[in-house]
Amino acid sequence: MPPTSALILNVNDDAASRYVTSRVLGLAGFRVLDAASGMEALALVTEETDLVILDVRLPDISGLEVCRRLKETPRTQGVLVLHLSAQAVGPGDRAQGLEHGADGYLVAPVDPEELVAQVHALLRLRQAEREVKELAREVAHQRRLLELAISCAADPIALYDETGRVLSANQSLYASRGSHAVHAPGRTLDEMQAADGALTPYLEQVRVALRTGQVQRGTMVLGSDRGPRYFDYVLSPALGAGGEVLAVMSSLRDVTESRSAEEFREQFIGMLGHDLRNPLNALSMSAQQLRRKGGLDERQGMLTERILTSAERMDRMIRQLLDFARSRLGGGIPVVRSSCDVFEVVRRTVDELRASHPGRVVQLESKGDGLGRWDSDRLEQAVGNLVANALKYSPPESTVWVGAEGSEREVVLRVHNRGTPIPAEDLPHVFGAWRRGRRAASDAGAPSGLGLGLYITRQIVRAHDGDAQVASSATEGTTFLIRLPR
């Protein structure tokens, strides 16, 4: 509050002293009202009054009584009171005045500069108090909004403070635990863990989020009155200006039904793949026998080759389906490691793709040592998927570059192509299942496939304790990278 906007009531029964004080305050820019008695002062004070300069010895009631009444009345209890006395000047008088609620005490005569400075100090204090109260009201309002949002959320939500104590949790969370709800506000992580041991892995992740300030994700299984329920959870730390963790919000989503549907689909795919193989093998073997027997005219030979080509493609799709089912139901794609040269695996794969794409240029460069213990058949499948993908999504006249580099700790494989980049919003999902590229393929007539190739590639690499990554931009092109630790 600017000093010139402050309204001051000057209360003193001595006219000369009252005039001098009011004159000093007026010259300092304050608005000043005068009162000669305690009762007159009580009549003049309003909510608009900022400060009362109050003599202690008044003719009707004492300044101490005036101060007490002002502080006890809700309408005026926020008004500042500064005692100014020429008679009650002892330490006991000052102590008594402050005990009765005064905000300051001066002994007259007082230097005009000291008086104005004291008034300014009290007004600054009052302004700071008002700002703190306003901030507290805003914080309380925001907290009520947060609690309302949490309580209205359909998904289970809990909020933990920096120590791991539950600040709030909505009814959806309680319902998700059936009759075993343990997220009562005020409970600590240790108390919740003691109450329900099934929460232990989840609560450990809450501790990690509190300790590191990093988002944690996972899935947990919780018991309920309806049987086991599966929940995906996200733990999102709220950080202060200095990077310290202030709280962690946990949001859960019940994925039991979708998980059951996914498991059923994967089991169905596995059974379908096995059941399709028998008639497909019979078809393929019959076509091969016709080709070996000979005596076919040109049209018959063309149809036989088309049958064989389609059968090979169908066989690849079935193998992808079976690999997908194994990876999702059996804990990952199985690999059989043996000593092999991954550079030779890459060279053999590239030669086969060069032969099947006679109009394309695939450049291969290798550096270092490619020896190690890997599953050569699976790596050939992974590299073949990446190179075939690069050929499919690059201009026919462009070169696909394949690089293999071996170091003491790992072998790194890169497949690079030019062409339309992968959209930025698709990059995080490129290695997901059932993902088909939205980029324009170089061969418009090429079948799009099942969208499992890149998913299976990453699963093969991870089965070798490695990882697959991708980077794509209009300027740099698209590069898939495989890291295989030795």
Please give the pLDDT value at position 283.
78
Instruction: Look at strands 467-473 and 477-485 and give their pairing.
Output: antiparallel
Please give the pLDDT value at position 252.
84
Please give the pLDDT value at position 81.
92
Task: Please report where in the chains the tokens 């088309």 appear, as a residue.
Answer: 306
CATH class as words, domain 338-485: alpha beta
Q: Which CATH architecture has domain 153-254?
A: 2-Layer Sandwich (3.30)
> What are the CA-CA distances from residue 119 to residues 29, 69, 343, 382 (Å)?
12, 21, 85, 80
Residues near 195 by beta carbon (within 8 Å), at least 6 away in sequence: 182, 187
Cα 437 to Cα 303: distance, rounded to the nearest angstrom: 30
Tell me the two tokens of residue 336: 């059989």
Residues near 332 by beta carbon (within 8 Å), at least 6 away in sequence: 326, 459, 462, 463
Tell me the two tokens of residue 85: 């006395």
Which secondary-structure segment (H or E) carries 71?
helix 63-72
Task: Please report where in the chains the tokens 């600590």 appear, as a residue.
Answer: 188
In the chain, where the domains are located:
3-133, 153-254, 259-329, 338-485
Measure CA 3 to chain center.
46
Tell me the two tokens of residue 74: 């809700």
Please give the pLDDT value at position 178.
41
Classified by CATH at the fold level, domain 3-133 comes out as Rossmann fold (3.40.50)
Tell me the two tokens of residue 129: 């108090």
DSSP, residue by residue, 35-53: ESSHHHHHHH--TT--EEE
Cα 469 to Cα 239: distance, rounded to the nearest angstrom: 30
Contact present, 329 and 270 (Cβ < 8 Å): yes
Cα 382 to Cα 349: distance, rounded to the nearest angstrom: 10
Interval 442-456: pLDDT, tens: 544 444 455 778 888
**pTM of this structure:** 0.43
Which secondary-structure segment (H or E) carries 465?
none
Residues near 55 by beta carbon (within 8 Å), at least 6 away in sequence: 11, 12, 13, 14, 17, 63, 83, 84, 85
Helix, strand, or coil (residue 390): helix
For 259-329, CATH number out of 1.10.287.130, 3.90.226.10, 3.30.70.380, 2.40.40.20 equals 1.10.287.130
Task: Please report where in the chains the tokens 């059974």 appear, as a residue.
Answer: 271
Q: How many CB atoms lie within 10 A of CB 460?
A: 27
Q: Which residues of the chain have pLDDT under 70?
A: 1-4, 150, 153-154, 171-183, 224-225, 262, 264-278, 313, 316-317, 320-332, 434-450
Please give the pLDDT value at position 309.
74
